[in-house]
């Protein structure tokens, strides 16, 4: 059952988002207690989003024989997922509010955006909007949770929103065919694989550029990283097979690295 719960929470994105926001809290100047609280709040929020996603998708996954899904394979039951989702929500609320009332409210709105995606947003033409909202608000939450609740610089939620939008297109790419078979028709599905790859590339490159141009980073890094991202995308899209997708993922890593490096500039 434990293995099934881990698989059902979408462990890769859950771990990536939690690790990124926890690291951002550390670089932004949170105390050890603050880093732990931010990390715990983000983790419980992401767990609730991941578990709710698999719980709601279970009927469609069964219909098309998705044996890679833990509910379909029998590794975890829908009843257990309901309880796990509820417990994650119950934990997320106080953990978020312990970071500050304003910061906590912002984080809960970000988590709610993820639930909107799970509850049907993924099949709408505006499927990218919950990602924009969630990823735009998460780094703002990290800054607002600092003592004194400082307001985040304008470019931080913008970069987060661009990163989230790019992540949406990149995340959906490997599953476009399976999603189409289960009736999921979000924006990437309507645009098609080629256009979605291009959208992911442009959005992630834009996120990297916004951080490079706005945060007080070493000039060499501010110039070299976006340039390197552009080269990676050009080479990846010139190749065939999964090279464009891998190029998009590489640029996503560069964008996250730039965001983390900007930590000391978030409260100055």
pLDDT at 266: 79
User: Could you tell me if 113 and 11 lie in one domain?
Assistant: yes
User: Could you tell me if 91 and 221 lie in one domain?
Assistant: no
User: Could you tell me if 111 and 213 lie in one domain?
Assistant: no
Q: Is residue 206 part of a domain?
A: yes
User: Could you tell me if 9 and 142 lie in one domain?
Assistant: yes
Mean pLDDT of all residues belonging to the chain:
90
Q: What percent of the chain has pLDDT over 70?
A: 98
Q: Is residue 220 part of a domain?
A: yes
> What is the tens place of the pLDDT at every residue in 148-179?
999 999 999 999 999 999 989 988 887 777 77
User: Could you tell me if 176 and 228 lie in one domain?
Assistant: yes
Three-state SS for the chain is CHHHHHHHCCHHHHHHHHHHHHHHHHHHCCCHHHHHHHHHHHHHHHHHHHHHHHHHHHHHHHHCCCCCCHHHHCCCCHHHHHHHHHHHHHHHHHHHHCCCHHHHHHHHHHHHHHHHHHCCHHHCCCCHHHHHHHHHHHHHHHHHCCCCCCCCCCHHHHHHHHHHHHHHHHHHHHHHHHHHHCCCCCHHHHHCHHHHHHHHHHHHHHHHHHHHHHCCCCHHHHHHHHHHHHHHHHHHHHCCCCHHHHHHHHHHHHHHHHHHHCHHHCCC
Domain extent, residue 62, equals: 1-152
Residue 241 binned pLDDT confidence (cut-offs 50, 70, 90):
low
Structure tokens at 97: 């509010």
* 36, pLDDT greater than 70: yes
Structure tokens at 16: 């990536």
Average pLDDT over residues 18-27: 93
Q: Is residue 158 part of a domain?
A: no
Region of 258 on the Ramachandran plot (φ > 0 left; ψ -120 to 50 alpha; else beta): alpha
User: Could you tell me if 194 and 111 lie in one domain?
Assistant: no
Average pLDDT over residues 39-57: 95
* Residue 1: Cβ-neighbour burial (10 angstroms; 0-12, 13-18, 19+): exposed
Q: Is residue 89 part of a domain?
A: yes
Q: Is residue 245 part of a domain?
A: yes
> What is the tens place of the pLDDT at every residue in 193-226?
889 988 988 999 999 999 988 888 888 888 888 9
Q: Is residue 157 part of a domain?
A: no
List the Cα angle 244/250/255 in 5-degree steps: 125
* 268, pLDDT greater than 70: no
Nearest-angstrom CA–CA distance, 261 and 268: 14
**How many domains are contained in the chain?**
2
Q: Which of 129, 152, 175 is the last residue of a domain?
A: 152
User: Could you tell me if 239 and 126 lie in one domain?
Assistant: no
User: Could you tell me if 209 and 247 lie in one domain?
Assistant: yes
Nearest-angstrom CA–CA distance, 139 and 156: 7
> What is the tens place of the pLDDT at every residue in 131-143?
999 999 999 999 9
* 234, pLDDT greater than 90: no
User: Could you tell me if 13 and 96 lie in one domain?
Assistant: yes
Average pLDDT over residues 25-30: 92
User: Could you tell me if 12 and 75 lie in one domain?
Assistant: yes
Nearest-angstrom CA–CA distance, 111 and 85: 12
Q: Which of 98, 118, 152 is the last residue of a domain?
A: 152
pLDDT at 84: 96
pLDDT at 52: 96
Nearest-angstrom CA–CA distance, 229 and 234: 9
Q: Is residue 14 part of a domain?
A: yes
pLDDT at 116: 97
Q: What percent of the chain has pLDDT over 90?
A: 56
Q: Which of 152, 182, 206 is the last residue of a domain?
A: 152
User: Could you tell me if 56 and 177 lie in one domain?
Assistant: no
51: CATH: 1.10.357.140
Nearest-angstrom CA–CA distance, 37 and 53: 24
User: Could you tell me if 8 and 122 lie in one domain?
Assistant: yes
Cβ pair 251, 233 in contact under 8 A? yes
> What is the tens place of the pLDDT at every residue in 71-124?
888 889 999 999 999 999 999 999 999 999 999 999 999 999 999 999 999 999
Q: Is residue 160 part of a domain?
A: no
């Amino acid at each position: 059952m434990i293995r099934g719960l881990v698989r059902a929470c979408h462990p890769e994105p859950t771990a990536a988002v939690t690790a990124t926001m926890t690291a951002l809290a550390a670089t932004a100047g949170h105390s050890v207690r603050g880093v732990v609280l931010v990390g715990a709040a983000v983790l419980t929020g992401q767990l609730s989003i991941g578990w709710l996603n698999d719980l709601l998708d279970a009927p469609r996954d069964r219909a098309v024989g998705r044996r890679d899904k833990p509910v379909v394979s029998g590794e975890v039951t829908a009843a257990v997922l309901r309880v796990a989702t509820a417990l994650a929500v119950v934990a997320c609320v106080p953990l978020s509010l312990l970071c500050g009332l304003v910061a906590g409210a912002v984080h809960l709105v970000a988590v709610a955006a993820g639930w909107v995606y799970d509850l049907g947003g993924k099949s709408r033409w505006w499927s990218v909007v919950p990602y924009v909202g969630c990823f735009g608000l998460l780094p703002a939450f990290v800054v607002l949770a600092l003592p004194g609740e400082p307001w985040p610089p304008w470019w931080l939620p913008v970069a987060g929103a661009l990163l989230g939008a790019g992540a949406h297109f990149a995340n959906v790419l490997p599953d476009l065919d399976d999603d189409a078979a289960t009736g999921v028709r979000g924006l990437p599905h309507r645009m098609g694989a080629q256009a979605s790859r291009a959208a992911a590339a442009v959005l992630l490159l834009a996120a990297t550029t916004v951080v490079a141009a706005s945060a007080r980073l070493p000039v060499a890094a501010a110039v070299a990283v976006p340039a390197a991202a552009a080269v990676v995308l050009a080479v990846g899209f010139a190749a065939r097979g999964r090279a464009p997708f891998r190029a998009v993922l590489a640029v996503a890593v560069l964008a996250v690295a730039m965001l983390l490096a900007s930590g000391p500039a978030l409260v100055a």
